[in-house]
Each structure stands twice: as C-alpha cells, then as structure tokens.
Structure 1
Amino acid sequence: MHPFLNQLPSSSFLHALQDGGDKSRQGPRGPIQARGMAPSSRQESSPEEGLPTKWSRRWAMAGWALLTLLLLGLLLGSSVLWFYVFGNCGPPPCETPVCLHLLDYYLASGNSSVAPCNNFFNFACGEPGKTINSFHALEDENKRLLRRVLEAPGSWHPGSGEEKAFQFYGSCMDTDAIEAAGTGPLKQVIEELGGWNISGKWTFSDFNQTLALLMSQYGHFPFFRAYLRTHPSPPHAPVIQIDQPEFEVPLKQEQEQKIYAQIIREYLAYLQQLGTLLGGDPEKVQQHAFLSISITSRLFKYLRLLEQRQSQDKLFHVLTIEQLQEMAPAIDWLSCLQETFKPMSLSPSQALVIHDLDYLRNMSQLVQEEMLKHRDVLQSHMILGLVETLTPALDSKFREARRELSQKLQELTEQPLMPAHPRWKKCVEDTGAFFEPTLAALYVKEAFGPGTQRAAMKLFTEIKDALIARLKKLSWISEKSQKEAQDRVTQLQVKIGAPDWVLKPELARQEYQDIQFGPSFLQSVLSCVKSLRARNVQSFLQPSSHHRWQVSPWGVNAYYSISDHVVVFPAGLLQPPFFHAGYPRAVNFGATGSIMARELLHIFYQLLLPGGCPACDTHALQEALLCLEHHYDALLLPSRSSLNGSQTFLENAADVGGLAIALQAYSKRLLEYRGETTLPNQDLSPHRLFFRSYAQVMCREPNPQDIQDIHRPPSLRVNGPLSSIPAFARYFGCPHDALMNPSRRCQLW
C-alpha cells in the first residue's frame, strides 16, 4: 500500500465521525461516561436498536472504498500530468535566428557517427583532418566584421582617426596603385639606408647608424629584439627588454639534418629571387645571399629554447647599458636604443632586462668578425631582412615569392598547408595595428552593446562565486591558504569588452597627427610604423593606474596579468558561437564560463608548484596531481605518442578545474532560475548541451610542429576534463569503464 494510504482514517474513526453530531449534544458528563464510566447494570437492546450500527459499518466500508478510488485517481492523474509537462515536453527549444545559426554550426562541425562515450572530441569536433579551429574561426569572423565596417560608405571629420584609418585600408586594398609603383619606393628606402653592393652603389655607411635607422624608422631588428614591457619582478615598472630575434626560417634544433638542409636551400633561393627582383647582378646576388644565410645559420647556433633557459635559471638578467656594452661591444647600445625609444632619455646607467645574455655575447663576436671580413655583406644581410618584413607593402612579384617560400617550408616541415592569406585580411590586420583606438571604438559599437556586457559580467560573477565556494571544500589546502586564496579572488580586477579609452573618440583624433600618407603605399606604411612606435613609448612614459591591455578588443584571447592582478576578456571572445545573451544558458556557461573559470585558476598556479604552498597538505596535493597525470596518460589513444603530463600539468589542472567550476555555477543557476532552453531537433538536454558547448570551444587540429603549445594534443583538452566529471557519464549514459567513464577520478580543484 502507498505510504500516503496508511494515513487515511480507519473505519472506527469514520464511525466516530458519523456519531459525532449526537455526542456533541450530550450533557457535560456524557463524554465521561463514554470513556469508561458505564452504568452499573447492562441494558439489552432490541433488534431495531442494532440496525443503525450495521448500516454505519456498511457506510464506513463504502466511504473507505470511495476515498481509495479517489486517491488512486488523483495519483494517476498527477503522474500523467508530470510525465506530459516534464518528461515529454522538457525545456522549450530556442528557435531564434542566433540559436538556429548555432545549431547549424554544431551540426556542421560534429560527427554523430562517433559514440560520445567512446571519444567525445571526435563526436563534437568531427573527423581528423576536418576539424575547425574554433578560436581561429571566431577570430576570422571578427576580422570580417571589421572589413564590413571599413568598406561601408561614410563621411568622417577631416584629419580624424576614422578618416585616416579608412584611407589606409583603402590604399592597402588598391593593388593596382601598388603594382604601378613597382620597386621604385623600395629602392628609395635602400638608398636612404646607404645602398648595397648587390645593385647600385654602397656608400660604406656606419654599421650602427644603419642599425639604429632600421630599428627606429622601419621597425626591423636583424640581430636582436628591443621592446618596452613591464619588469618581470615587482614593482613591474616599464623597462627596455632585449631578447632573441625572430627568424623566418625554422630553428635547426627542431628539424632533422636532411630536412634542415633542404629548408636552407629553399631560403637561399628566395633571397636570390629578392636580389634579382631589385635589379641585382646575379653573381653578386648569389654570393651575398649565401653569406647572409651563413650569418643566419651561425646565429641559430647561439639560440637556446625557452625550456633550456628556464632549466638553467637564465630567463633574464638585469644589466645597465654600460655593462651590456662591455659584454657585447659590437653594438652601440646607447645610440641604437636612444633612437628607437625616443623621447625617452637614456644614459649608460639605464637598467635593461636581458633575456639571453649568452646569445648577445656570441652575436656581438659574430658581428665584429663580419665587419672585418665582409662589411658589405652585413649591409646586404640587414637589407634583405628588411625587404622580407616589407613584403605585404610591395608589388605582387615580391608577395608571390614569399607565398611560394611559405608553401615549400610547410611541406618540408610537414605542417598542414595553409590557404593563401586574402589581401583584405592582411589589410584589416595592419589597419588594426596602426589605428587600434579607432577600430576598437568602431568594433565595440558594432558588436558589443551594453546588454552583452551586462550579461557577460553577470556570468563572470557567478563563475567567481562558484570558485570561492569550491575553495572552501578543497581537502589539500590549509585554512590559512584558503583564506588567502579567497582574498586573492575578491581583490581581482576584471576587464570585460574593451579599455575605457575605446569610448573616447577625441583620443583617436589626436593620436594620428604625425602620420603622413605618401605618394606610395610603402611610404604610408613606414610613416605608420614610426608613429606606432612613438605612441607605444609615450604610453609607457605616462604614469597610469590602469592595466595596459595586451590584446585588441576584437581579439579572442583571454588572459590573466600577474603584475596588475587583473583578468581580461576582450569583446572579440564574447561573440557567437562562444557567447550570446540570447543563447541557452548551458551554452554560455559551457563555453565562455569554462574559459572564465580557467583564467581564474591561473591565479593559483603557484600553489601547485613544489614549495608553492608550505602550509598545505603536501601529500594530498601530490596525490591529486599524480592522479591527474595518470588520468591523462590513460586517455591517450594507441596511435598517439606518449605525452609527458608533468610538462602540461598546470594547464591540465586549469582545464579540469575550469570545467568543474563552470558546471557547479551552471547547476546552481538552474536551481535558482527557471526558463532554460535548449537547441531544437537535438538529443541535447541542458546538461548535455553544456558539455557539448565546452568541447566546441576546444576544437582544433593538433599541430606537433608548434613547440610552444603547452596544451597539445587538443583531444585531451576535451576528453580529459569531461571524463573527470561524473555528471558527464551520467547524463550521456556512458557504460562503466568506457573511455569517458573511467573507474577512477581525481579531485584537485
């Protein structure tokens, strides 16, 4: 019998109810007698007097049966109603245009023939070789929006930032004018640098004067890089930093000897082609190109990978200009840096941050040797490198030579062939680099309204609250460290959308007064390069209490700044298919919410490093980290090589923790608020949609050649965190010991 039926009144109780009316009319002593004070003699009753008692019992049985039927009917009716409302209907589908577009995106990128419990990466991201890089796709869509803005007709205030940005983009797209100018503008630049022996005359210009011109006027650094950044250590003041140069040719350490020799031959042929296009004598071109390659090869030998410098505790050194001059005397450091970072006032006692001192010593010795033997070759080497960097501003012959080299290098290094970079995309990128304040304001106005910003901030607040709640339940963290961690989260600044200055158009109009567009597109580019460098220096010289954004508002990379204790989520990231105020909440929490949680966990990387949390339960922490490493090792497919989990454990921990925190915040949201929706015509409950949206963010093809990628392979960024969440296996009905439902899970965050 149903438990509720046990609470129904008994037949005797029904009898009492029927007789209750008479008893209520008895005298004051009547009830006392009924409870046991009976008369002294028993009175016999006639058969007629017994009839009411028999009929009462029959009515009691009938009442009992009637109430039972009524109750069963109510239970059956409520069950049917419950099934119809909640079991049959479920959350209503979102059929707005943005949701239907998202549905099409998911259908196009996934592979429904793969069982979700066997490999969710392939289920959500599609077949190998056909996977869309979600971040690249979003980045391209943001650039397309900027293109539409730049190509839309409009009238701008004369001399304003808007007018100059539109003029620059238009001249960049005017390839007919660039073709008509030919090599004339480039030859004029070479003459201003003192000429070279490949073609024309060489005036034997001073090496350091030429180097200073290349660095300050053309933004080209042939032997090292110099830039302004905040100091790596507190108080993180702006400081000039000297680092290794960036080379077009892949480093020798990454290639087999045979392949590296083929790469050098292709690069040599490319340099010869550049010299020939500039009218050089074929014999001199071949000689200078070969010696230029020799210089590059020798510089390669002095380079050390970041991991090597880190293991040797040589990430950076702090030296004065005077001390660096003694250690690397071939470069006139004071004059070169003074020209590059005008209007800074430098002196020999100026402190610098040096990222690879051994490289600079060896580079200086190489330059000294070449100045004694092949001074003209050093000039040719610097000019050939400049021509490479200026290729997008030159005519089609130079651009085609560069495209062919890139394609051959991709084939030799077995990288996937990249499609030709459309002209409009390069023009959008350069316009954005030179006129960022203007384009930032136009982009935010077009794609990131106040409603989107409020929705994004609300999502971040819920993610942050979930993290604080989770910190209180960690088994390995001490009470003191837990309190410090909560304070760190509370004190964190968050920047969402764009910097404050984006909404101040008067700044954009004042910033570009020094840009002068020349008769050729190349001259316009060089004027923009010079202006941009001066603006960057000026921004560092001005005292500011605000964080300097490291990404443009239309960028897609969120980041955490250690020096400013601020986390940044640009407007370009908070776009479909990652985020939209009209999406089902499962999408926003699964995609953008997990990104936000992961960036928040970057605050606590130090706690996971050896000795980073002395007051914590070290044994429990190490057990959790070791468990996480084994968890990822077990997910590697047989065809994949082993992955050293110790090299990526920080990012793995952030991925797993970020997903768990986002799921906790989403589950709380479902309990507190109604009105969740899902995508139509899909077998995706809200929680299934949450997990699918998380995976969609991570979709991309693996790139073994990218040694800087600490997240590879991408399948682990999907399968690793999802298989660590018991709720995933529960909502997808994964059988025990399936790939996505392991028998053992780890609890780190």
Structure 2
Amino acid sequence: MNKTCLPRTVLALSGLMLAGCAASNTASTSSATTPTVTATAQAAPAAEPVLKGIGLDPADMNPAVSPCDDFYHFSGGNWLKNNPVPSYATRWGPRNLLGDRTQTLLRQILEEAAANTSAPKGSNLQKVGDYYASAMDTVAIEKAGIALLKPELDRIAAVKDLRGLQDIIARQKLLQTGAYFGAGVDVDEKQTTQYAVGLYQGGLTLPNRDYYFKQDARTESIRAAYRKYLTNMFALLGDNAATAQKNAATVERLETRLAKAARTPVELRDPQANYNKMTLAEAQKKYPNLNLPRILADLQLASAQEVIVGQPAFFDEVNALLKAEPLADQKTYLRWHLVRSTASALPKAFVDESFRFSQALGGTKQLTTRWKRMLASTDNALGEAFGQLYVDKAFSPAAKQKALDMVNNIKASMAEHIQTNTWMSAPTKQEALKKLNALRVKIGYPDKWKDYSALNVSRDSYLKNLLAAREWDYRQEVKKFGGPIDRNEWGMTPSTINAYYNPPMNEIVFPAGYLQPPFFDPNADDAVNYGAIGGVMGHEMTHGFDDQGRQYDAEGTLRDWWTKEDNDEFNRRAAIVGTQYSAFSPLDSVYVNGKLTMGENLADFAGLTIVYGALQKQLQQKYGNGPRPKYDGFTPEQRFFLSWAQLRRSNIRPEALRQQILTDPHSPDQYRTIGPLMNMPQFYEAFGCQPGQKMVRAEADRAKIW
C-alpha cells in the first residue's frame, strides 16, 4: 500500500479544499437592515495609531460586501478576483501558494543532491539525488521506450491458468498497480495491539463506481475520454488499431463489472460495515478462485490465519470474475493497470495520454512542469530520506514547541466543552475525556526516521527506481505483521502540506510542510494563528468525535462506547448539519452531498468552536480584562474569523468542482468557510450581525455539536 496514501481509516484534511458560490438556503435581507462592516468601518479611531498585523492582508478583502451577508467574499473577494486558476492547475488557493514556496526549497535540495555524484553509496543523499536525476533524464527515458517494462509485461503474458493468475495478482500488489482490489497490513481496528491483513475494494480507473453508471452528459463525456485513453495507451504498447479498441472495451467491461459490486463513497464511511473478519480457511471457502493462502504466501504473509474483508460482496464478484472471464481478457486488464500506474516513468507519449484524460476529469489546461512532477515522485518514493533534508532547513525546534503549545491549549478547550456539554451523559463524557487524554500528537517529523538501506537506487532508470521503491515500500508494510504496533510511523511525509487524524492509533499528525506561513507563523498574533493552523488542529482533534471517529475508543478500538440516548442525540444534531450542507449548491443542479461530507463538516463545526474557546483563554491569559490590541483595525475575534476564511478561499474549475462533489468527503471551500460561521453566535457578535441577515441562522435552525 502506497504510504503517501493514508490508511483507509485516516480522516485527512485533504488537498482538495475547493471553492463554490453562494448558498441557496439562506434567508434574504434588504440592504436597509444590513449594517455594512468594511475594513474601513472596523478601523480604530483616527486619533489612535493603526497597528499593522502579520498574516492577514486587508487588500484581499472586498469591503463592498457585508460580512453578515457573504463572509466568504467579504474576507477574500478581491483575492479571488485577482488570482485565477493557472493553466496547469484545477484549483488555486493559499495552499497552492505555500506549495510553490515549498517546492522552490525542495527543488534546491534535490538539484544539489543530484549534482553531488560523490555522495556516499547507500546514503539518503545518494538515493534522493540519483532518484531525482533519473526521473529528470528524459533522454534516457525516451531511448528506453517500454523495454524496461517488458519483464513485467512478459510475466503477465506468460500466465497460463488460474494458478498463474493468482501469482500475478500477488505480483501486482507488490508493484502497487491497483489491479482487482487493495490489500495491505493495518492496525486491527477491534484489536489495536496487533496488525491484521486487510482486503478492500479497488481495481477501477475512474474515480469511483458512479462514473461507470451515471447517464448525465458530463459523465458520458468523461467515459468517452476514458475509452480514448484506454485505446491510445494500448496502441502505445504496440497493439494495432482494431486490437487496441477491442482491448479498451475489455477493460471497461471488467471494470464496470467490479464497479457494480463496489460500495458507494457514502457506504464506505461506515467503519463497522467495513470490518468483516474471517479465518483464512473461511476466506478460502468463500473466495476459492482468489486463493488467498497462495497470494498471501507470495506476499510473505503465510503466517496470517485471519483476514479482514472490507466489502464482502465486492470480493464475491472478484471471485466469480476470476473464473468466469476469459484468461486473455484478464491479462489485458492486468496489462492496462501496469502501464496506467507507471505512465509517469515512460516516454512522453504515455505521459501526454494520461494528462489528456486528467484534463477531462479536472479541466486542467496545461501539464505541470516536469521538475514539479518528479519532485512529487521523489517525495512519494523516498519521503523520509528527502524529508530529513527538508526539515533541517525549514522547521525550527522553536516553531515545533509553539505548535505543541497551541495543540495543548486546544485540547484543554475541548476538555472543557466535553465537561460542560448539556446533552451528553456522565458515562459518555467520562469515555470522551479518556479518549481526549489518550490522544497522541505528532508535530513536524517522525521521532524515528525510516531506514532505506534495503532499497537500491541508481541513475540507470527512473522506471526501475519507481518499481523498486514500490516493492520496497510494500515489503516494509508486510514486515509489520506479527510485530508490535509501530507508534512512530507517519502516514504523510514531512514536507506535505496537510494533516490527518488516524482513529485506530488515536493520533493527530501535522507535518512540517503545513506548519509554515500563512497557515502557521510564529511572528503573527494569536488570533491569526488560532484561526489558521489552530482551525486545522481543532478540525483534526474533533475528527475523533465526528460520526466516524466517535465509533473508536481511547485505545483506537472500534466499539460502541456511547449510551443509546447520547448516540441518538448526537445523530439528531449531526443530521441538522447534513441537511444544511445538502442545501448548498455551487453549480446549477449540483448540490453538496451532506452524507458524504458529514465527517469533515462536523470536524469543521466542532473544531472552530473549540479553537475559538482556546483563543479566548489565550487572550485572557495575555491581557486579562484589559484592552486587547487591534491589528489592521480588527479585533482579535474578527481576525480569528478572517484568518479562518482567508485560508479557505480558492478558485476552482467547474470540472474539478463537479468531480469533488462526487468523490471528495470535503465540502467546497466556500461552504467550509461559511457553514460553521452561520451557526456561531460568536461570529454574529464579532461582526455585529443581526437576525435576518444571510450569515445568521434562526436559533431553532442552528446546529451545535459541542
């Protein structure tokens, strides 16, 4: 399992925080009753000096918009107007700007490593430098063609029977091509002191099952692009036109069959339904054509006596397909997933075909420059070797300590909210506090770095390095089976601009790449940091108590620790959030899926409330009951909400927005911004909002979890 892809249970903030347009379910108001609050109106009296703050730029705001009518465009309207999506991107926001700055530093590290041909053999510096150098050597890649892929293609071609097919499936797991299904070693969610072998649905090229069946014009056009993608890639492998077209139809047919048996994205959000433990003997009886004992033995997991099957009906279909479908057709399917998954390391013609398909999905106009793509590949393959070089330059011990202090303050605020909760019973509160106290916090980078000594990297071939890194990564994962739980393991690399909560480990993780301006700036005032990275910290922390995370206890065990009454009340309150978001429409006839986005919406709701409380404690500690300074004419409370909003502003292509609505558990950025605020009296007070204004929900319609 590719470790840049988090475990199935991890709830990440995600890079796809996308923008939409105004909500459709908010009340209208006349301009006569709307006090317009602008940057000028909020400024300190002329007799007082206006203190200049760090982290917020008033020029990005649109003072012509009332914050109480449309806080998203009030807080960042001018920025949105002046920052269109670049041709090589599908969306554009502050995270992309930070990404550009980070990439500049990472590129410098990589180019210095690549230029150092005398680095000690086997050192991280040698491996990082050689991997990147081989990835940038387009002359060698073009000259090699598909010759270096031929050994793997020959393995597939040599399959003669079902037994051989089972062996090649194991090989595809090692190479992480994504064929048929996913398999890996994860923490056992109901026995979190041990690892388990997990199997879960997969094997598709399109983003999820719905893309194979929806009949609207947009989805039909994506399927047409998908067929062209398949056909052209088979032609590049050497098939004549008729054979390429036939093979494309074969892959689509097999994938559609798998898709029909797959669960929907909403169904996949049920952790209990995704936990189906059975003995290996039971699995062999249920799925004889898969022959799990043989596959697991090939993967060095022969000692496994049990497996956890995520989606049993999907594996029923895999089992039937393996016997019913012609062997030649299945070999065609395997060829496809091999070439699709390695296209980035093949000649330009393969890269171009992959890009044309991604254009159809997300609307990107231009392929990202090669060094950026190969930088990402190096991070994917050698993330912690590369990451050690990065954190030495980008993340100080002082910054790490300040971030830890913030997390501890937010944790204390969360404890207070649990203790003063009016709808939760004492036994459930006790369990919730126990879980909060047991929460592990990881900041910046691992305490113990990965050992890459068993991975051989040279300058000979990017494709060879890519496949070697995948196989090394998978073997590292299966090695964990039967051993103690590795609490030091990270699911993201240090330079990643993201964060996550992992329920079975009950941990929140913040890589150094995210703890950079504008998300985190040690020189900014508390209000800005708490509204920015603090909002992320609160979000990840409260994932432990969202509709999914709350099903895991203090040890990360998947079990029900709620009383029936508390469970029912939580679900009632969560349903209000779902209804609110399902009414948001970013495009004509396209609505947010309140069920798919439930967990992320709840984490935004609860997280922001918790962090606001933490900020108030911080301000009280610093200023007591005395005056609190305004920066850029805004109070700390106003700067808190402005910081929350300004870091969620983004422009997005319509194609990418439609894809997000169908596949992403995060709501579009506009609704992530205003959704929680429309329910917060603290926001109304900060900006003087009155009943009847669009950002103010009637008290009976508000959602409140914590």
Alignment match of 2:111 (pick from 139, 151, 157): 151
Change in CA separation of 1:541 and 1:729 when aligned onto 2, cut-off 3 Å = same
Alignment map for 1:628-667 (pairs within 5 Å):
648=597, 650-667=599-616
Give, as a single letter, the amino acid of the residue that structure 2 aligns with 1:554. S
CA distance in 2 between partners of 1:442 and 1:247 (Å): 36
Give, as a single letter, the amino acid of the residue that structure 2 aligns with 1:206. G
Instruction: Please state if 1:303 is matched with 2:262.
Output: yes
Alignment match of 1:459 (pick from 406, 411, 421): 406
Asked whether the equivalents of residues 547 and 566 of structure 1 are also in contact (C-alpha less than 8 Å), the reply is: no
Name the residue aligned to 1:531: 472
Change in CA separation of 1:478 and 1:287 when aligned onto 2, cut-off 3 Å = closer
Which of the pair has the greater relative contact order for Cα pairs under 8 Å at 6+ separation?
2
Q: Deviations over 1:35-60 (max 9, x none)?
A: xxxxxxxxxxxxxxxxxxxxxxxxxx
Name the residue aligned to 1:710: 665
Alignment map for 1:399-478 (pairs within 5 Å):
399-407=351-359, 409-410=360-361, 415-417=362-364, 419-478=366-425
Tell me which protein shows more helix as a share of its residues: 1
Deviation at 1:469, TM superposition (A): 2.5
Give, as a single letter, the amino acid of the residue that structure 2 aligns with 1:300. A
Gaps of at least 5 residues in structure 2 are: 1-42, 86-90, 552-558
Asked whether the equivalents of residues 224 and 244 of structure 1 are also in contact (C-alpha less than 8 Å), the reply is: yes
- Which stretch of the first structure deviates more once superposed, 187-196 or 519-528? 187-196
Change in CA separation of 1:542 and 1:439 when aligned onto 2, cut-off 3 Å = farther
Secondary structure in structure 2 of the residue aligned to 1:243: strand
Alignment map for 1:490-639 (pairs within 5 Å):
490-502=437-449, 508=451, 511-517=452-458, 519-544=460-485, 546-605=487-546, 613-614=562-563
Name the residue aligned to 1:15: none
Asked whether the equivalents of residues 51 and 633 of structure 2 are also in contact (C-alpha less than 8 Å), the reply is: no
Change in CA separation of 1:399 and 1:668 when aligned onto 2, cut-off 3 Å = same
CA distance in 2 between partners of 1:312 and 1:477 (Å): 23
Name the residue aligned to 1:396: 348
Give, as a single letter, the amino acid of the residue that structure 2 aligns with 1:402. S
Alignment map for 1:87-98 (pairs within 5 Å):
88-89=47-48, 92-94=51-53
The number of equivalent residue pairs is 632
Deviation at 1:232, TM superposition (A): 2.4
Change in CA separation of 1:120 and 1:393 when aligned onto 2, cut-off 3 Å = same
- Which stretch of the first structure deviates more once superposed, 277-286 or 632-641? 632-641
Change in CA separation of 1:653 and 1:318 when aligned onto 2, cut-off 3 Å = closer
Asked whether the equivalents of residues 497 and 553 of structure 1 are also in contact (C-alpha less than 8 Å), the reply is: yes
Deviation at 1:453, TM superposition (A): 0.5
Asked whether the equivalents of residues 95 and 497 of structure 2 are also in contact (C-alpha less than 8 Å), the reply is: yes
Instruction: Please state if 1:489 is matched with 2:489.
Output: no
Name the residue aligned to 2:35: none
Deviation at 1:146, TM superposition (A): 1.9
Q: Deviations over 1:191-228 (max 9, x none)?
A: 354469xxxxx999933333333333x33242222111
Deviation at 1:143, TM superposition (A): 3.7
Deviation at 1:625, TM superposition (A): 5.3
CA distance in 2 between partners of 1:444 and 1:189 (Å): 37
Change in CA separation of 1:513 and 1:709 when aligned onto 2, cut-off 3 Å = closer
Name the residue aligned to 1:54: none
Give, as a single letter, the amino acid of the residue that structure 1 aligns with 2:645. A
Name the residue aligned to 1:177: 140
Alignment map for 1:291-370 (pairs within 5 Å):
291-308=250-267, 314-340=273-299, 342=300, 344-346=301-303, 350-370=305-325
Gaps of at least 5 residues in structure 1 are: 1-83, 197-201
Change in CA separation of 1:620 and 1:181 when aligned onto 2, cut-off 3 Å = closer
Change in CA separation of 1:271 and 1:692 when aligned onto 2, cut-off 3 Å = same
TM-score by length of 2: 0.80
Secondary structure in structure 2 of the residue aligned to 1:554: coil
Change in CA separation of 1:678 and 1:140 when aligned onto 2, cut-off 3 Å = farther
Change in CA separation of 1:115 and 1:433 when aligned onto 2, cut-off 3 Å = same
Deviation at 1:399, TM superposition (A): 0.9
Asked whether the equivalents of residues 585 and 677 of structure 1 are also in contact (C-alpha less than 8 Å), the reply is: no
Q: Deviations over 1:544-596 (max 9, x none)?
A: 45243222222233222322222222222211111011112111111111222
Give, as a single letter, the amino acid of the residue that structure 2 aligns with 1:148. Q
Give, as a single letter, the amino acid of the residue that structure 2 aligns with 1:689. R
Q: Deviations over 1:628-650 (max 9, x none)?
A: 56766888799786657566555
CA distance in 2 between partners of 1:238 and 1:578 (Å): 35
Name the residue aligned to 2:210: 253
Instruction: Please state if 1:120 is matched with 2:71.
Output: yes
CA distance in 2 between partners of 1:245 and 1:432 (Å): 24
Instruction: Please state if 1:213 is matched with 2:171.
Output: yes
Taking only aligned residues, the RMSD between alpha carbons, in angstroms, comes to 3.6
Change in CA separation of 1:521 and 1:565 when aligned onto 2, cut-off 3 Å = closer
Give, as a single letter, the amino acid of the residue that structure 2 aligns with 1:335. R
Deviation at 1:243, TM superposition (A): 1.3
Deviation at 1:452, TM superposition (A): 0.2
Q: Deviations over 1:332-377 (max 9, x none)?
A: 322222223x3x4336xx211111222222222222122xxx4333
Asked whether the equivalents of residues 415 and 436 of structure 2 are also in contact (C-alpha less than 8 Å), the reply is: yes
CA distance in 1 between partners of 2:418 and 2:162 (Å): 66
CA distance in 1 between partners of 2:581 and 2:224 (Å): 41
Give, as a single letter, the amino acid of the residue that structure 2 aligns with 1:176. V
Asked whether the equivalents of residues 288 and 380 of structure 1 are also in contact (C-alpha less than 8 Å), the reply is: yes
Instruction: Please state if 1:275 is matched with 2:228.
Output: no
Asked whether the equivalents of residues 167 and 298 of structure 2 are also in contact (C-alpha less than 8 Å), the reply is: no
Asked whether the equivalents of residues 121 and 699 of structure 1 are also in contact (C-alpha less than 8 Å), the reply is: yes
Asked whether the equivalents of residues 44 and 633 of structure 2 are also in contact (C-alpha less than 8 Å), the reply is: no
Give, as a single letter, the amino acid of the residue that structure 2 aligns with 1:594. G
CA distance in 1 between partners of 2:329 and 2:679 (Å): 59
CA distance in 2 between partners of 1:212 and 1:631 (Å): 45
CA distance in 1 between partners of 2:241 and 2:181 (Å): 30
Alignment map for 1:733-748 (pairs within 5 Å):
733-744=688-699, 745=702, 747-748=704-705
TM-score by length of 1: 0.75
- Which stretch of the first structure deviates more once superposed, 392-401 or 236-245? 236-245
Name the residue aligned to 1:691: 641
Alignment match of 1:287 (pick from 233, 243, 246): 246
Change in CA separation of 1:296 and 1:180 when aligned onto 2, cut-off 3 Å = same
Change in CA separation of 1:267 and 1:582 when aligned onto 2, cut-off 3 Å = same
Asked whether the equivalents of residues 481 and 616 of structure 1 are also in contact (C-alpha less than 8 Å), the reply is: no
Secondary structure in structure 2 of the residue aligned to 1:206: helix
Give, as a single letter, the amino acid of the residue that structure 2 aligns with 1:467. M
CA distance in 1 between partners of 2:575 and 2:137 (Å): 58
Asked whether the equivalents of residues 648 and 669 of structure 2 are also in contact (C-alpha less than 8 Å), the reply is: yes
CA distance in 2 between partners of 1:208 and 1:623 (Å): 47
